Amino acid sequence: MASLLGGAVGPVPALTGGQLIDRLEAANLLGRGGAGFPVGRKWRAVAERGQGRAVVLANGAEGEPLSAKDRTLMAARPHLVIDGAVLAADAVGAPDIIFYVGAAHHAAEAAVRQALGQRSNQLKQRVRVVPAPAGYVTGEESSAVHFINGGDARPTTTPPRPFERGVDGRPTLVQNVETLAMAALIARGDVGKTGLVTVSGSIRNPGVKEIDFESTLGDVATAAGGLARAPQAVLLGGYFGGWAPIDEVWALPIEPQSLRARGLTFACGVVHFLAEDACGVEATARIMAYLASQSARQCGPCVFGLSAIGECLRRLAARSPQVSDLDRLTTWSGQLEGRGACKHPDGAAGLLRSALGVFADDFEAHQQRRCLRRQPARPAMVQPLAAVA
């Protein structure tokens, strides 16, 4: 049986664009890049505007430090990703296809280029591969469009949106590469109920796994070889996701809509287990320092707000806080969202709020210059994972 990471898939069936979009909607396929937007609806919106001049942008930038799924997929199954991009292009009326691949993901880019070299000359004339610059925000869809149009990979929430006017001013479907690969499987009759996760932290066999969405978080841990150390919390969805106490989510299905109903997110498929002897304050401080360093530098909330939060967290993590640092963090976590020129401050604020809740006792202790963990050394979880080639 075919899957995202293995198995024979056979030829692509002959489907009209409308038939394929209907299948995607029936399968309730959600985007796998982070936002989880309904794929069929997105394709239909571009198709209605395309008029034979749309663009498909296959997004494999993958700037999330804890994710390796997209580069793994492109390296292992480039033809499946290409199939999905071609199906999308045909469905929305796009003569041109762009593969936007993280410049540091060398194995993924080489595999995509080699696979394209095996395709027809007609397809080769429609396709180009664009290396995406390194950075957390460069894979956001408007960032990708801006980079291709003018070499400036900065996001914005200001209309028009890419599906309205994107690459070269044309309606543009920006779709994550895993989403496109799954669309190619659904076109062949798959029901679309599996997904890729990058598992890390206190686990025996970290890396990219394909899981059934009916699996629980405990099943995900088992698929990754079981726990190496008992965890206290899990980071779901990466740096724009959130922390959750392990005992509250261990038996929950990983299915994105089930998580969303509980105020959690699957997002880009990151599952990181934080060991019980690791410090959640220090882990969060390192994440927020990274997010502050990745500011798009377009507005005060991002440039100054994230910097202030990062500095405040640095002091707390070092157990040398100012008197009101914890109170400041609590206030700022509720003020930042919705005030930026893009969604970067929003994601950072959401992560911070989750940390203040899950690690409340740890934050209180650090405000009093103590750490509740026996081994308060900084955990390795916020260091970028090595690409899985």
Domains of the chain, CATH where assigned:
17-187 (3.40.50.11540), 194-275 (3.10.20.600), 280-367 (1.20.1440.230)
Measured distance CA(369)–CA(177) in Å, rounded = 45
Is it the case that residue 379 has pLDDT exceeding 70? no
Of residues 376 and 20, more confidence is placed in 20
H or E stretch covering 49: helix 39-50
Is it the case that residue 212 has pLDDT exceeding 80? yes
What is the average pLDDT across 35-43?
92
Residues 139 and 6 sit within 8 Å (Cβ to Cβ): no
- pLDDT, one tens digit per residue, over 130-185 is 999 999 999 999 999 999 999 889 887 778 899 999 999 999 999 999 999 999 99
Q: How far is CA 263 from CA 237, 269, 331, 349, in A?
A: 12, 16, 20, 14
- 308, two tokens: 């202030």
Residues 138 and 110 sit within 8 Å (Cβ to Cβ): no
Q: Minimum mean pLDDT among 197-211, 276-290, 374-388: which range?
A: 374-388
Question: Hey, CA dihedral for 8, 14, 18, 23, is it positive or negative?
Answer: negative
Q: List CB contacts of 59: < 8 A, sequence separation 6 or more.
A: 33, 100, 139, 141, 144, 174, 175, 176, 177
Is it the case that residue 383 has pLDDT exceeding 60? no
For position 343, what pLDDT does the model report? 83
Residues of the chain with pLDDT > 70, as a percent, come to 96
Selection from 1, 4, 60, 2 nearest residue 196 by Cα: 4
Is it the case that residue 377 has pLDDT exceeding 70? no
Q: Rounded to the nearest 10 degrees, what angle do helices 78-92 and 177-187 cross at?
A: 80
Selection from 167, 150, 9, 162 nearest residue 78 by Cα: 9
Measured distance CA(210)–CA(349) in Å, rounded = 29
φ, ψ of residue 77 in degrees (nearest 5):
-135, 55
Is it the case that residue 380 has pLDDT exceeding 70? no
Residues 130 and 101 sit within 8 Å (Cβ to Cβ): yes
Work out the mean pLDDT of the chain and round it to a whole number: 91
pLDDT category at 119 given cuts 50, 70, 90 is: very high
Is it the case that residue 3 has pLDDT exceeding 70? yes
pLDDT category at 1 given cuts 50, 70, 90 is: low
Is it the case that residue 76 has pLDDT exceeding 80? yes
Q: Minimum mean pLDDT among 56-60, 94-98, 310-314, 382-386: which range?
A: 382-386
Classify residue 253 by its DSSP letter: B
CA 153 to chain centre: 17
Classify residue 322 by its DSSP letter: -
H or E stretch covering 243: strand 242-245
What is the average pLDDT across 260-278?
94
Classify residue 7 by its DSSP letter: S
For position 238, what pLDDT does the model report? 95
pLDDT category at 375 given cuts 50, 70, 90 is: low
